[in-house]
Amino acid sequence: MDIEKNPYRADFPLLAGHPDIAFLDSAATAQRPAAVLDAQRRFYETMNANPLRGLYSLSVEATAAIAAVRAQVAELIGAPDARDVVFTRNTSESLNLVAKSFSPAVLKPGDEVAITVMEHHSNLIPWQQACRAAGARLVYLYPQQDGTLTDEEIAAKVGPRTKIVACAHVSNVMGCELPVRRLADAVHAHGGHLVVDAAQSVPHMPVDVAALGADFLAFSGHKALGPMGVGVLWGRHELLDAMEPMLTGGEMIDSVREQDATWAPVPEKFEAGTQDAAGIYATGAALAYLTETVGYAAVAEREAALVAYAWERLAGLGFVDLIGPADPARHHGVISFNVRGVHPHDVASILDASGVCIRAGHHCAQPLLAWLGVENLACCRASLAFYNDKSDVDRLVDGLTQVWGIFHGND
Amino acid sequence: MDIEKNPYRADFPLLAGHPDIAFLDSAATAQRPAAVLDAQRRFYETMNANPLRGLYSLSVEATAAIAAVRAQVAELIGAPDARDVVFTRNTSESLNLVAKSFSPAVLKPGDEVAITVMEHHSNLIPWQQACRAAGARLVYLYPQQDGTLTDEEIAAKVGPRTKIVACAHVSNVMGCELPVRRLADAVHAHGGHLVVDAAQSVPHMPVDVAALGADFLAFSGHKALGPMGVGVLWGRHELLDAMEPMLTGGEMIDSVREQDATWAPVPEKFEAGTQDAAGIYATGAALAYLTETVGYAAVAEREAALVAYAWERLAGLGFVDLIGPADPARHHGVISFNVRGVHPHDVASILDASGVCIRAGHHCAQPLLAWLGVENLACCRASLAFYNDKSDVDRLVDGLTQVWGIFHGND
Amino acid sequence: MATTDLYNAEFMDHVSHPDYKYELEDADCTHEGVNPSCGDELAFSVRFAEDGTIGEAAFTGHGCAISQASADIMSDLMIGKTPEQARELCALFMRMVRGEETDEERLEELEDGVLLRDIAHMPARVKCAELAWRTLDEMLAGREGQEA
Amino acid sequence: MATTDLYNAEFMDHVSHPDYKYELEDADCTHEGVNPSCGDELAFSVRFAEDGTIGEAAFTGHGCAISQASADIMSDLMIGKTPEQARELCALFMRMVRGEETDEERLEELEDGVLLRDIAHMPARVKCAELAWRTLDEMLAGREGQEA
Ligand SMILES: Cc1ncc(COP(=O)(O)O)c(C=O)c1O
Ligand SMILES: Cc1ncc(COP(=O)(O)O)c(C=O)c1O
């Protein structure tokens, strides 16, 4: 894999227009290829209308466009029925929807919800809330220092009281894949359900709800090359069907009388009000670019080469403490680290001055950073995508050398 | 006002590209000027990054862009403090947020929420739900047949038990303005609060939260020339401050520990997960186009002339039953009607064949249509914007004549 | 666009002068169908002949022209058909309006039903066109269930 | 971009060799400040001289270089100032880092504080730069309240 060449950069207007920028924050939000921006505009220029209720052709086209993306997403994640794909704003809303609308039906006082300490706040606070509302207990699974979740830990934490296990497919800090299938088997053995946060996996690898054993799965379009504002929640049909809606209003009803209302079938039941139809349409273009134009195989190969190169160079610096699995092959685009003795915010600010965009802070994973014992509850994170190349990594390394020089040059 | 000329059509790519289309469904969703589509794209091409948490310049620019639109919205609606402008997905979500997060603190069993029978389902079902949860009563205000809410009706329905009044500023079916100020005074006299659904007013007229006496106000960007996917909720600071968030997760926290979390201040507290920053940025461009490039004065003058002309022509047909105030000057862009003896769905389908886009159905206002006693619980709605012109109305009238001919040509 | 073609004289004749819109006094089965989102409501009634075929068919209710014409056309088609034949025709019709069946020869079995072929290009109206056929199909399926 | 200019030798000297980062034994007032989103924590202590001016100032805590340098610079500046003067300087500093005050002459009153002027172009770091000044300002405001 030749990571000096970059056949993709030209497809991404921001990157093409800013040769001075090394964008290493794709885990926060991806860059978008022109095909996605074109699609979004095309929607507004050719079929802009409020979907679902209109009887005129524009509106019908808008409705059909959304149905097509629903089918595309279903195929992407191996969902047997496109109807079970609910569009939301983002992963956070998807997970809130499960925590608020599914939990009450299954959680009784004394029951348990198990999550890992690696969860993003969006797959953590909603469960704190759901447990509080139900009088249930929120139980944590702790990995080894390298992110590995052992069978012992799973057996110790997932038991007959466990009604829900919620876990990330890929950690946004550790970068590693979690043993989702083993968690599924453990919780299913006790009749519970598995919620998968696939926000960090869909951009990098094929995701199949059946193979994972997921009962619910959430991800965000904007991390997978799509526009901001579109999230997905997939759920097993009978579970979605039995759930109450979280939001009510237009477009999600069957009939409304003054004192009561009945709901439309899944998925409309969960999509109150005017949806971002243009965004959904463009999300379709994004997923097509990701899985057809580029393809997961190429994504994986290129990202693996980039991560391996970055890992080696960062480790070689001598003043960088790397976080997560020691084997770079286990990192899916994400490398978290600290520059010894330097606050991550200062690292990010100094890198920014030379156009290197990384993220610094708690990465919406404070309990993880507390558990890892990271100073200041903060670290740096460089996250790579297939549209990065060797020069991005080189600039990161040069920038870190400069940081070290500023802070320790006269030691 | 010369409604034959159309100085705006060229600004709207869909309209410019489809001279064969008479778009008369702006109350569902507006068309967007190129300036808005350009802004959305510009965001992705020049400052695309996840706002709020990033320390690098792209992210800082994205954050600043959102702050600027927040300030712009605050100024638009006369809000004293931009911090009290919360971005949501749409009006529906904004109203759900109030119903779910504000109601529980003020509604006790036996209390009342008063709404009008003219409400859109999005300002109706959330109150059904809130009342059910609290053991409160949902009370309806009924207008006269022409949409007028009398002082007697207000006095009869808003009293010491009324904790919340929620009403549309402009009805999406009747087209008329509701006496929001009088409702505010009535509910405030008893220590209650007023929630205003401004979805149909912001596109047409200046809206001022102080003048209206609103405690909360909601609207959708997509009905005011903005992209889909962005809504606004404004609330009085002390009320928002005391409210619990509806959705939890990333970006809305102050700190998170394994078993508890504290919230960020308003407005971040209510904005969980990655927001549609590009959409918010483009919403700023939309509001600038609406209020500066065109201006509410021109909007009002032009829409009044179009409505007056349409009203006269429709009334002249002899087979059209008009709904709402008899005075066209009271219709803010919206004209609802039925073709005698013809189902509205058939009207819409036949008009569509000649490129005339209207909406037919219950317009998310089933209780209103039931109360009006409209056959099939359905009617037609033509909704006009300043970018329409006389030819759009003429084509509507020609289309309706054709409908009549098809259904009654051989009577 | 084909919409005005749909509302042609033949189609409109079924709307304005339906032959089968009346209360069937001695019905063997009556079944109701609704489209909650449109407000269409239909009650479809059948009397069976001695040989088990459909002897008489009629409907009441209200709705848009498409649902009404569709009910009238279907009633005419069903007379003399066995329940099995009737259900097959219902399935064929639904495939047609969803655009899944376009073979002219097969569609001819639907007789005047082909007047509604253009519904395939009007997805928002599919439910209206299907209402009568869905209702009849449900009725016959229920009857099979009872007999079994 | 001005970020690396910010982290210059003079600024870094305040970070690496702060003169005022120590536990002030006989403090008259101590006040804590935190930036929950960054994890910065600071405790700022003051001993007043007999004439009511600030006689000694010191801080402890941890955080990024900007918050640390800012605290050190501020401590130095405040010695000999009356509480009123101190609060005015705090206000001036906050206006500077928010980009609301750019008048060179006025900013000179902040002495080494101007090293942080470029923060005005780094909105994400304003909170870090302000932490010490906000903490001192709160402390002095609280003291005024007590005396009144
Ligand atoms: C009066 C009124 N309220 C609320 C809404 C709901 O708006 P949205 O679909 O953007 O949530 C609409 C529009 O459909 C409306 O007309
Ligand atoms: C693992 C994980 N889960 C959830 C989220 C939340 O995604 P969003 O902000 O799109 O709701 C993120 C991204 O920030 C993430 O990395």
Domain positions in chain A are 9-31+295-408, 36-291
* A364 labelled catalytic: yes
Q: Is the pLDDT of residue B409 over 80?
A: no
Contact yes or no for D66 and A345 at CB 8 A: yes
Positive or negative torsion for Cα A340, A345, A346, A347: positive
> How far is ligand 1, taken at its centre, from the CA of residue A211, in Å?
40
- Contacts of residues D140-147 at CB distance under 8 Å and 24 or more positions apart, as own/partner, are D140/D83, D140/D86, D140/D87, D140/D90, D141/D87, D142/D31, D143/D29, D143/D83, D144/D83
From chain D, the residues in CB contact with A410 under 8 A are: 16
* Amino acid letter for position D144: E
Q: Is the pLDDT of residue B48 over 80?
A: no
**Contacts (Cβ under 8 Å, ≥6 apart) of D148:** none
Q: For residue C41, give the chain B residue with the closest CA.
A: B376
What was the pLDDT predicted at A51? 61
Q: Is the pLDDT of residue B49 over 80?
A: no
CATH annotation of A36-291: 3.40.640.10
What was the pLDDT predicted at A58? 80
Chain D: nearest CA to A355, how far in angstroms?
Answer: 9
Whole-Å CA distances, B303 to B259, B287, B309, B332, C22: 55, 17, 10, 7, 47
Rounded average pLDDT over D90-108: 95
Mutate to test the interface with C, among A57, A58, A268 (most CBs of C within 10 A): A57
Of chain B, the end-to-end C-alpha distance in Å amounts to 40
- What is the band of C66 on the pLDDT scale with cuts at 50, 70, 90? very high
Rounded average pLDDT over B218-222: 98
> How far is ligand 2, taken at its centre, from the CA of residue A127, in Å?
15
Nearest Cα to Cα of residue B383 among B170, B197, B220, B173: B173
Contact yes or no for C123 and A64 at CB 8 A: yes
What was the pLDDT predicted at C39? 76
Does C30 map to a domain?
yes
**Ligand 2 neighbourhood includes A84 CB (under 6 angstroms):** no
From chain C, the residues in CB contact with A59 under 8 A are: 124
- What are the pLDDT digits (tens) for A60-109? 888 889 999 999 999 999 999 999 999 999 999 999 999 999 999 999 99
Does C148 map to a domain?
no
- What order of strands is seen across the sheet that includes strand A379-383? A320-323, A334-339, A379-383, A359-361
- What are the pLDDT digits (tens) for D39-78? 789 999 999 999 999 999 999 999 999 999 999 999 999 9
What was the pLDDT predicted at D1? 39
State the pairing for strand pair A379-383/A112-116.
Answer: unpaired
- What are the pLDDT digits (tens) for C9-55? 999 999 999 999 999 999 999 999 998 767 789 999 999 999 999 99
Does D148 map to a domain?
no
Ligand that lies nearest to the alpha carbon of residue A172, given by its number in the listed order: 2
Question: Which A positions 52-91 lie with beta carbon below 8 A of chain C?
Answer: 54-55, 57, 59-60, 63-64
Nearest Cα to Cα of residue D60 among D138, D132, D112: D132
> How far is ligand 1, taken at its centre, from the CA of residue B92, in Å?
6
- What is the band of B390 on the pLDDT scale with cuts at 50, 70, 90? very high
The DSSP result for B255-301, as a single string, is: EE-SS-EEEPPTTGGG--S---HHHHHHHHHHHHIIIIII-HHHHHH
Pocket test for ligand 2, best of A97, A120, A121 (most atoms within 8 A of CB): A120
User: C-alpha angle D121/D91/D41, rounded to 5°?
Assistant: 75
Rounded average pLDDT over B244-250: 97
Mutate to test the interface with C, among B338, B346, B374 (most CBs of C within 10 A): B346
In terms of residue numbers, what domain contains D95?
3-143
> How far is ligand 2, taken at its centre, from the CA of residue A336, in Å?
16
Question: Which B positions 355-394 lie with beta carbon below 8 A of chain A?
Answer: 356-361, 364, 366-367, 370
A33-37, B251-255, B326-330, C10-14: which range is least confident on average? B251-255
Whole-Å CA distances, A403 to A336, A358, A378, A398, A400: 16, 14, 17, 9, 5
**Ligand 2 neighbourhood includes A383 CB (under 6 angstroms):** no
> How far is ligand 2, taken at its centre, from the CA of residue B119, in Å?
35
Higher pLDDT, B409 or C97: C97
- What are the pLDDT digits (tens) for B1-30? 899 999 999 999 999 999 989 999 999 999
- What is the band of D3 on the pLDDT scale with cuts at 50, 70, 90? low
**Contacts (Cβ under 8 Å, ≥6 apart) of B7:** none
The count of domains in chain D is 1
Q: Which atom of ligand 2 is nearest to the CA of A172?
A: 16
CATH classification of the domain holding D80: 3.90.1010.10
Does D77 map to a domain?
yes
Q: Is the pLDDT of residue B40 over 60?
A: yes
Task: State the catalytic residue, choosing from A131, A364, A379, A380.
Answer: A364
Number of CB pairs, chain A paired with chain C, less than 8 A apart: 18
Question: For the domain B9-31+295-408, what is the CATH superfamily, name and number?
Answer: Aspartate Aminotransferase, domain 1 (3.90.1150.10)
**Ligand 1 neighbourhood includes B336 CB (under 6 angstroms):** no
Tens place of pLDDT per residue across chain A (411 aa): 899 999 999 999 999 999 989 999 999 999 999 999 999 999 999 887 666 555 678 888 888 899 999 999 999 999 999 999 999 999 999 999 999 999 999 999 999 999 999 999 999 999 999 999 999 999 999 999 999 999 999 999 999 999 999 999 999 999 999 999 999 999 999 999 999 999 999 999 999 999 999 999 999 999 999 999 999 999 999 999 999 999 999 999 989 999 999 999 999 999 999 999 999 999 999 999 999 999 999 999 999 999 999 999 999 999 999 999 999 999 999 999 999 999 999 999 999 988 999 999 999 999 999 999 998 889 999 999 999 999 999 999 999 999 999 998 755
Q: Is the pLDDT of residue C148 over 70?
A: no
- What is the band of B54 on the pLDDT scale with cuts at 50, 70, 90? low
Distance of CA A193 to the CA centre of its chain: 20
Rounded average pLDDT over B301-306: 98
Contact yes or no for D16 and A353 at CB 8 A: no
- Write down the mean pLDDT value for chain B: 95
What was the pLDDT predicted at B56? 72
Q: Is the pLDDT of residue C1 over 50?
A: no
**Contacts (Cβ under 8 Å, ≥6 apart) of D4:** A350, A353, A354, A402, A406
The C-alpha atoms of residue B82 and residue B90 are separated, in whole angstroms, by 18
Task: State the catalytic residue, choosing from B131, B167, B176, B364.
Answer: B364
The C-alpha atoms of residue A165 and residue A112 are separated, in whole angstroms, by 9
Partner C contacted by B398 (CB < 8 A):
no
Q: Is D98 helix (H, G, I), strand (E, B) or coil?
A: coil
Q: Which atom of ligand 1 is nearest to the CA of B364?
A: 14
Partner D contacted by B262 (CB < 8 A):
yes
- What is the band of D127 on the pLDDT scale with cuts at 50, 70, 90? very high
